[in-house]
Amino acid sequence: MSTKSVYLERPWLKSYPQGVPPEIDIPVKSLCQAFDEATDKWKDKTAIIFYGTKISYREMREKVDRFANALSDIGIKKGDRVALLLLNCPQYFIAFYGLLKIGAIITPISPAYVSPEIKYQLEDSGAESIVCLDFLYAGVGKTGVPLKRVILTSIDEFLPASRRFLGKSILKGVFQKMALPPSNIFKKGGFHQFKELLQKYPPTPPSISIDPKEDIVSLPYTGGTTGSPKGVMITHYGHMAVLSAYKAFYPFFEDGKEMLIAYMPFYHIAGQWTAVVNPILLGQTEIVLTSADLDDIINSIVNYQATFFGGAPTIFELLKDYDKTSKVEWKKLKMVSVGADALHESTFKGWQTRTGINLHDAYGMTETSGLTHLTPKGGSKVGAVGIPVPNTVSGILDPEKDEFLPMSETGEIVVSGPQVCKGYWEKPEATRECEAIIDGVRWWRTGDLGFMTEDGYFHIYDRKRDLIKYKGLRVYAREVEEVLKTHPKIKEIGVVGAKDIKVGENVKAYVVLESDARGKLSEADIIEYCQDKLASYKIPRIIELVGEIPKTDVGKVSRRELREMEED
């Protein structure tokens, strides 16, 4: 049997939960149609709770339809790109589905972006309109990008008058400076108030024809495997494929009966499919939080009796050592899931020791609409990201050529399935670099290096761009980090390659020490600690002690920023 055939035979099916089929039917419908069906079915059920404010599915549907009507009237049409610059809030759901109802393409922007980053995304996507939180508009205004339409909203618009003091307190925990636009800004042409549009227009959205397999839902921007940020073309069908696979793989989650905490950033693909899309289309209730405040998370789980909780590894690293974590009866939740980044073994075991339950890994990327692999309930394995979901095939390719490797060998993880994106917006060459067409099958290179075990579980070793070449030998940054994480006096770690003309790249570790070790544990001590734990060429040649490790918006160690620090 050829190496390729090994993967096409789907050895992971032996690890599938009982009753889960390898192939399922995917409804060929738009997210708008699915949204209307969900809001008709659960109209009197609470859709979201935002710091005490409850919005039912009936209310959300009405607001979405009003907003869609308004958007159409002010000149936004099918195919137009519209930016969303919002924190997690009710307006995000309304804007998201309202835009989809008129066939617009959403390009979500990170609230943490500064003007040059905002400018790049607006210009690259060709967005001429934006829905923006008022205190974030200053960054947009500085870009100089000529926008035809600006719709501004306030974080407290959906809070009752008695609770609007929460608006500023919420934001103080997220942003230190809040520069509001002048009150007369709405006298300028093209500026609109979100709340006034909802009041002015009736809930009669236009009728737009949508091709689920071809029409684009959103253009979230990502660095991909290489290069500058690129807009990922995610279709309606891609989202429906993820929704269908998730439902089939975890049938114990009941439509209309689950309660979850929605705190992961909605602009990110992880927040998009785990909060903005899937739960709404399945009739769930979401407790929406603007940020990952530990007290808010714990109190929400307890007070609302959440049935599911998920997040990036960093949230579990924090929670496992947090004194109030024990307030939650974690065993009562149907599942606790982790994704969006590699899960360190120490976090996995620490969480297990603290709570008595395992974390269930989920794996996907922006280019795959957020999901390709899941861990069967009760099937968690340290270091594994799960097995391919229904309708999805995954394999291991040589990182530099289109040849499959044996399952036990480390190479680049590739996936093929209906959730894979159309490609990168107006960047066909970058799209081709990530595609591997083998015997007529389109595989997408994930940029993640890993291997598959005989039971079909995939393990991630590192990102391809984080591979360090020392004298021609491959060093995986994550492997070095895993060893250093076992040191009791090391709090955080980030490993990158430091260019050296003599050897190619040296292994460099940025290290944050525990407070009681500062001034006591030296760089030489750390190098010595690795002597019997790593091959000599993998041991860091350079140690830099720092106060903190830069993180991305979803809590990942930002190796890109570490590489920039090293280059500087």
DSSP secondary structure letters along 140-151: HHTT----SEEE
CA distance 448 to 459: 10
Nearest to 105 by CA among 425, 320, 324, 347: 425
Centre a 10 Å sphere on the Cβ of residue 58 and count the other Cβ atoms it contains. 15
Q: What is the mean pLDDT of residues 397-410?
A: 89
Average pLDDT score over residue span 390-408: 91
Domain boundaries 57-209, corresponding CATH code: 3.40.50.980
57-209 and 467-567, same CATH topology: no
129-133, strands of its sheet edge to edge: 191-193, 149-153, 129-133, 81-85, 105-108, 216-218, 234-235
Structure-token pair, residue 32: 């708008």
In this prediction, residue 174 carries a pLDDT of 53
Max mean pLDDT among 40-49, 109-118, 402-411 falls in: 40-49
Query: What is d(CA 537, CA 543) in angstroms, rounded to the nearest whole number?
Result: 15
Q: Which CATH architecture has domain 3-27+221-455?
A: 3-Layer(aba) Sandwich (3.40)
Closest CA to 233 of 79, 421, 103: 421
Per-domain boundaries in the chain: 3-27+221-455, 57-209, 467-567
Instruction: Tell me the CB-side half-sphere exposure of residue 272, using CA atoms within 13 A.
Output: 33
Distance from first CA to last CA of the chain, Å, rounded? 50
Please compute the mean of the pLDDT values over residues 499-516 and round it to a whole number: 87
How is residue 323 annotated by DSSP?
G
User: In whole angstroms, what is the distance from residue 45 CA to residue 56 CA?
Assistant: 5
Q: pLDDT tens-digit profile of 57-116?
A: 999 999 999 999 999 999 999 999 999 999 999 999 999 999 999 999 999 999 888 888
Query: How much is the CA Rg of the chain, to the nearest whole Å?
Result: 24
For residue 444, the surrounding DSSP H or E stretch is strand 441-452
pLDDT classification of 177: cutoffs 50, 70, 90 = low
Report d(CA 88, CA 49) in Å as an integer: 12
Average the pLDDT over each of 128-132, 388-392, 467-471 and give the range with the smallest value: 467-471
Question: Please, what is the average pLDDT of the chain?
Answer: 90
pLDDT at 225: 46
**Which CATH topology does 467-567 take?**
GMP Synthetase; Chain A, domain 3 (3.30.300)
